[in-house]
Amino acid sequence: MASSLTKASTGTPGSEKTFFGHPRGLATLFMTEMWERFSYYGMRALLVLYLVSGGAEAATGSQGGGLAMTAATATAIYSVYVSMVYLMAMPGGWFGDRVWGARKTVAIAGFVIMAGHGSLALPGQAAFFAGLALVAIGSGLLKANISTMVGHLYDGPDDPRRDGGFTLFYIGINLGAFIAPFIVGTVGEKVNWHLGFLLAAAGMGIGLVQFLFGTKHLSAQSSVVPNPLAPAERKSLLVKAALVVVVAAVFYGVVIGMGMYTLNWALVPITLAGLIIPVAVLVRIKRDKDLDKTEQSKMTGYIWFFVAAAVFWMIYDQGGSTLSLFADGKTSGTVFGLGFPATWYQSLNPLFVMSLAPVFAWLWLWLARKNQEPNTIVKFSMGLVLVGASFFIFIVPMNMASDGTKVTPLWLVSIYMIQTIGELCLSPVGLSVTTKMAPKKYASQMMGVWFLAVTAGDCTTGLLSLAGVSLNGIGIIAMQASLAVVAGIAIYMYRNKVQTLMGDVH
């Protein structure tokens, strides 16, 4: 499969084939990530609809079945699940650096993800939650290491092909995310939920097989464990992990034995952990006495970006929950007389990313040549205001649908497009500023810290749902929109102060 995407190098005679001018190993990683995202976004498109189907707030027009949960519980589970995927990126990176190496970690992650989707394909709540846990763990392991392996293909950060390689890799992510709802979503929603989950497992299986066959094209550096655990460290960690498992088993054994167990006994601790851990990590880094004065200042400035990103992702990631439920129940499922399932809306974001990302890349360069490109702080502010504006717009179709009217799909198309524009203002800039502001001691860990902003944002959504707040209400939508816009304006108003804290980073 990968070889069909390669072409002969235009370099010296006898040189190896390349992938659009890049190292051939990029084809292997491109396809692995594309199929992993296919499985992830395909399952994600089904998740909330499957959870509510069969109950009072059942998905409309589907084949029935599901777990018959309320919209609030489904949104909480969805939010906790997405937050755990990003939370697991930090320990995933740690495993790659200290235990298995990036290549072995990605291979193991593929098996774990495939097993998770396979578990989702089985009926029953036990298999379902086991599957979610496996997919979250596997996705975290893979996400943290596959990008590292892309970097290993090039001759250091100054290799002129490096940025282009990551751009191609990013296209693979969005290509998989774009295709998945049409295949996994349609089969799951219209034919059989569990068959849809099985297709997600098959997608990851295809990606895993081609990865294993294509590893010979990867850099040897990807098999190296950069900082292996010493035997004493390994033993200490195993003891601590075993202790945690025993304590959790005893605690939940007592709760179940007393007949007190409900789903919230699992969701609430995980959600609180998803809020506490990001704060604890930031505090630990900020209070590290090894950081010099400049690094301390940059970390103080970075906290502004972290909080802003958490607010952004809190709203943005509801595209698969709040907006998905609205698409299913209150939006017309036809365009020009042609019907389509609600899961197809999940293809809009990757479609807009692939369409608009080159436009934004050109726009920033054009403005830079005119010395008018917005700086990092202004771009963050724009992203927050745009995601807030998308929810203000969302209030209009919510009002229109309050009497049972089905609104035109163009409302959701517009909302997803505005959110994607906001993402293109904030997300790439956030990744860049994270690497630039990272203290030397935490250079390899700070990307995981950036992902923790997603965890914090999604856990905030989950906690609201668990507290009984209906995220499908106009009031809470308006409150979130206001919070994002106010946060965006605040960052813009204090941009000089934040820039001072950032030092030489612009």
378 shares its domain with 468: yes
> How far apart (Å, rounded) are the C-alpha atoms in residues 240 and 243?
5
Cβ atoms within 10 Å of 312's Cβ, excluding its own:
29
Residues 486 and 412 in one domain: yes
Residue 5 domain flag: no
The answer to whether residue 6 is domain-embedded is no
- Please indicate, yes or no, whether residues 300 and 243 belong to a single structural domain of this protein: no
Both tokens of residue 58?
């059942």
Angle, helices 410-437 vs 322-330, to 10°: value is: 170
Residues 254 and 180 in one domain: no
Q: Mind listing the pLDDT tens digit for each residue in 96-107?
A: 888 899 999 999
The count of domains in the chain is 3
How high is the pLDDT of residue 56? Answer: 63
Residue 225 pLDDT more than 90? no
Same domain, 32 and 56: yes
Question: Are 335 and 454 within one domain?
Answer: yes
For residue range 383-440, list pLDDT tens digits in order. 999 999 999 999 999 999 988 889 999 999 999 999 999 999 998 888 778 877 888 8
The answer to whether position 3 is within a domain reads no
Residue 10 binned pLDDT confidence (cut-offs 50, 70, 90): very low
Question: Each residue of 111-149: b (16+ CB within 10 Å) or e?
Answer: ebbbbbbbbbbeeeeebbbbbbbbbbbbbbbbbbbbbbb
Work out the average pLDDT over 27-48: 95
> What's the domain range around 66?
19-228
Alpha-carbon torsion angle 104, 109, 114, 120, nearest 10: 160
Q: How far apart are CA 380 and CA 389, in angstroms?
A: 14
Query: Is 281 found in the same domain as 207?
Result: no
**The predicted structure's pLDDT at residue 319:** 94
Let me know if residue 8 belongs to a domain: no
Q: What is the largest CA-CA distance in the chain?
A: 74
Task: Say what the pLDDT of residue 4 is.
Answer: 35
pLDDT score of 12 = 37
pLDDT at 33: 94
- Say whether both 249 and 174 belong to one domain: no
Q: Examine the pLDDT at 7 and tell me if it is beyond 50.
A: no
| Cα–Cα dist 355/178, whole Å | 12
Q: Please state the rounded mean pLDDT for residues 43-64.
A: 80
**Mean pLDDT, the chain, integer:** 88
346 inside domain? yes
Q: At how many degrees (to 10) do helices 25-52 and 193-214 cross?
A: 170
pLDDT tens sequence across 58-102: 666 666 788 889 888 999 999 999 999 999 988 888 888 888 999
Q: How confident is the model at residue 262 (pLDDT cuts 50, 70, 90)?
A: confident
Q: Roughly what angle, to the nearest 10 degrees, separates helices 322-330 and 25-52?
A: 60
For residue 183, being part of any structural domain is answered with yes
Structure token pair of residue 4: 């069909």
Are 210 and 244 members of one domain? no
- pLDDT range class, residue 505, cuts 50, 70, 90: low
Would you call 398 helix, strand, or coil by DSSP?
A: helix
Residue 410 in any domain: the answer is: yes
pLDDT grade for 291, boundaries at 50, 70 and 90: confident
Question: What pairing do the DSSP bridges indicate for beta strands 18-19 and 338-339?
Answer: unpaired
172 and 185 fall within a common domain: yes
Global pTM? 0.89
CATH number at residue 445: 1.20.1250.20
Whether residue 256 sits in one domain with residue 149: no
Helix (H) or strand (E) holding 460: helix 446-466
- Give yes or no: residues 354 and 442 share one domain: yes
Is residue 15 pLDDT above 60, yes or no?
no
pLDDT in tens, 444-468: 677 788 889 999 999 999 999 988 8
Residue 80 tokens read as 């906790």
Checking if the pLDDT of 260 tops 90, the result is no
